[in-house]
């Protein structure tokens, strides 16, 4: 005889299991989407604007003033950068906690290595973003900066970055070099997983092509980021008028072990 009570419990369990797996499917798609569409686009625009350091102090300061000329930019930044960033980071941690941790040791192949680096670069990137947002936002909102370090729209200036980059005791330059590397790897590798998740690359050949595109894209982005950092060294630093901002007692200060050998006004 059929047991209808048991069957309806099974059906209910199956329905709720499929509802929750559908929810997880949607959450994963949103995670992948926001990583590429608002956040990936933001990184490309952000680094290309920051390459204005190559044009010197005025070019960079003008580019920042231009970004913030409309007060609605705060609203767009909150909606298109901070909100997706919080979702992508929190859900990324959840997915990593749920994932099989020993896969790489069982199958130490290139695909699994890329997966491991995707997680490691996320950790590096979060550390970098914490430092970067602290430097560009928290310092300003706390009113810790001198007037030369903040522009009329309340953003940090070229002099501020150049001073930090040149003060090697703070390690800012190395944090930027590593942070840009982590960001670029995470984003470029993320493009290939995005294409798989969204069914854009289904076959092995298409996935190989996406790997080549991601590699070229990553190298371009890395060059952009490093050129932005280079601009602070080419146009800023000792001898170009910024040494007066250098932290007293640092190696670039007039009595520091490097500063001693540099011209001071």
Instruction: Using CB under 6 A, list all residues that contact ligand HEM.
Output: 43, 46, 50, 64, 67, 77, 81, 129, 132-133, 136-137, 155-156, 161, 176, 179-180, 183, 225, 228-229
Question: Which of 50, 44, 71 shows the shortest CA–CA distance to 62?
Answer: 50
Question: Which of 232, 131, 138, 146 shows the shortest CA–CA distance to 183?
Answer: 131
* Whole-number Å distance between alpha carbons of 126 and 130: 6
Between 131 and 262, CB nearer to ligand HEM:
131
Question: Which of 174, 184, 171, 192 shows the shortest CA–CA distance to 220?
Answer: 184
Closest distance between ligand HEM and the C-beta of residue 265, in Å?
26
Map residue 156 onto helix, strand or coil. strand
Closest distance between ligand HEM and the C-beta of residue 85, in Å?
6
Closest distance between ligand HEM and the C-beta of residue 59, in Å?
12
SS3 content of the chain, % helix, strand, coil (to 5): 75, 0, 25
Between 27 and 81, CB nearer to ligand HEM:
81
Closest distance between ligand HEM and the C-beta of residue 37, in Å?
14
Per the listing, tokens 């994932």 go with 99
Closest distance between ligand HEM and the C-beta of residue 13, in Å?
42
Query: Between the CA atoms of 170, 173, 174 and 176, what dihedral angle is there, to the nearest 10 degrees?
Result: 120
Closest distance between ligand HEM and the C-beta of residue 238, in Å?
19
Nearest residue to ligand HEM, by Cβ distance, number only: 228
Between 132 and 209, CB nearer to ligand HEM:
132
Between 86 and 216, CB nearer to ligand HEM:
86
Q: How many CB atoms lie within 10 A of CB 82?
A: 11
Between 25 and 233, CB nearer to ligand HEM:
233
Between 29 and 137, CB nearer to ligand HEM:
137
Write the DSSP string, 210-238. HHHHHHHHHHHHHHHHHHHHHHHHHHSST
């Amino acid at each position: 005889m059929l047991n209808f009570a048991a069957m309806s419990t099974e059906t209910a369990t199956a329905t709720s299991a499929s509802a929750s797996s559908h929810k997880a499917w949607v959450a994963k798609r949103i995670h992948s989407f926001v990583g590429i569409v608002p956040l990936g686009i933001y990184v490309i625009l952000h680094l290309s604007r920051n390459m204005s350091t190559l044009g010197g102090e005025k070019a960079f300061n003008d580019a920042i003033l231009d970004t913030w000329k409309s007060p609605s930019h705060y609203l767009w930044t909150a909606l298109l950068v901070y909100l997706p960033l919080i979702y992508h980071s929190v859900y990324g941690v959840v997915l990593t906690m749920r994932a099989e941790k020993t896969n790489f040791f069982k199958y130490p192949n290139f695909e699994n290595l890329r997966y491991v680096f995707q997680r490691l670069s996320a950790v590096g990137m979060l550390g970098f973003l914490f430092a970067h947002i602290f430097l560009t936002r928290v310092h300003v909102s706390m009113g810790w900066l001198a007037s030369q370090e903040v522009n009329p729209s309340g953003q940090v200036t070229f002099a501020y970055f150049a001073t930090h980059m040149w003060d090697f005791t703070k390690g800012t330059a190395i944090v930027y070099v590593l942070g840009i590397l982590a960001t670029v790897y995470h984003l470029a590798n993320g493009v290939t997983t995005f294409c798989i998740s969204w069914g854009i690359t289904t076959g092995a050949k298409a996935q190989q092509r996406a790997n080549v595109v991601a590699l070229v894209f990553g190298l371009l982005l890395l060059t952009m980021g490093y050129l932005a950092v280079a601009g602070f060294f080419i146009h800023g630093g000792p001898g170009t008028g910024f040494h007066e901002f250098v932290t007293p007692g640092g190696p670039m200060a007039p009595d520091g072990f490097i500063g001693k050998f540099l011209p001071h006004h």
